[in-house]
Amino acid sequence: MKTSSSVWCLMVVLHIILLLGLGMISSSLGSMQQVPALFVFGDSLIDPGNNNNYKTLAKANNFPNGIDFPYGVTGRFCNGATLADHLGYLLGIEFIPACNDPRTTGSNLLQGVNFASSSAGILNDTGAKIGQNLPMFRQVELFGEKILPKLKSLMENSNGEDSATNTFEHFVAKSLIFSNIGTNDLLNNYLARFANPLHKPIPPQFWDSVLIAYGNQLKKLYSYGARKFLVTGLGPLGCSPYIIASFGEDRNQCYEHHNEIAVQCNLKTKTMVQQLNQDLPGAYVLYWDVYPLIRQIIDNPSQYGFKYSHCACCGAGPSNGLFLCVPGSILCPDRSEFVFWDWFHPSEATNKFSARQAYDGIIQSTYPTNLKQLVEL
């Protein structure tokens, strides 16, 4: 009896060890790096702190920003990790350094660089009233003329000059370009009260001119060797606490005028992406329509684990939407209950959920594939 009991116990232990081993392998595979690097272009929604040393109001290098981020206050407009950070996590990349950080050099470049800059836009002068920033053209320029030469030099030193070209070209082509920009071109020129106190209408061809510039910037990235792109559309601008506080008559309702503009702009952006896929041989340009997802969360917060979707966790004024999140601001006790961290930027909980939807979500959100399928190409 003792012998059979001992054998049974041994079998149970071995079974548990096997399951644990399989779990560890599965976990390890899930965290494997899926692209050589992630290069990020955009605005304050994904800025990692590139504006910290600029003369501008558009920076977040103060507490309580970063209250839940492992590295603390970095300049992110979020309580924790941004959308770009969470996309990196899903791709097996732990940290993407800011291009303006002096530590972003040497081997720190090898997993990618984040060029995003708060208040920046596709147009060169967007956000200039607020202060310094890196407009999209400058972000692209820094990628091609500063970062890529350094990466090529690193590969020459490690692989030898003969194989460096092939290695470098493969590295750039297989890396992912993530671009999330355009919001400020509308807000900082027309849709924000401070930018357009006289309520001048948006010229009919304004977004068309924005997309011409944007298309040229993406083509420039292609000319540098980039082949895989994730291009994000506009979110529901009229649902941000800032716009609700500025224009809304009901603090629990989105301001639909701004949302209708975002939807129309997104249709044109998707058309631009379709054209780029036709015009650029070997390129895979993925369009991510974030609008339906974020709107669904805002309209049905409890279904996604949230309680508050029209007011910010941190700020001041109606809906906590009239001032930046700074020391002394009203701060909610539980950040996970809020869709928005501050007057315009999503909370980490929202960013995490959104990134997962782009990565392996339904094709209706990302066109023509999801991100997981894109990186496998």
| DSSP H or E stretch at residue 136 | helix 136-142
The answer to whether 211 and 291 are in contact (CB under 8 A) is: no
CB 130 within 8 A of CB 58: yes
Nearest-angstrom CA–CA distance, 103 and 117? 17
Residue 45: burial class (beta carbons within 10 Å; 0-12, 13-18, 19+): buried
CA distance 48 to 76: 5
How many Å apart are CA 234 and CA 184, to the nearest integer?
A: 10
For the CA atoms of 162, 173, 44, 330, the dihedral, rounded to the nearest 10 degrees, stands at -100
Active-site residues, by number, are 44, 342, 345
DSSP 101: S
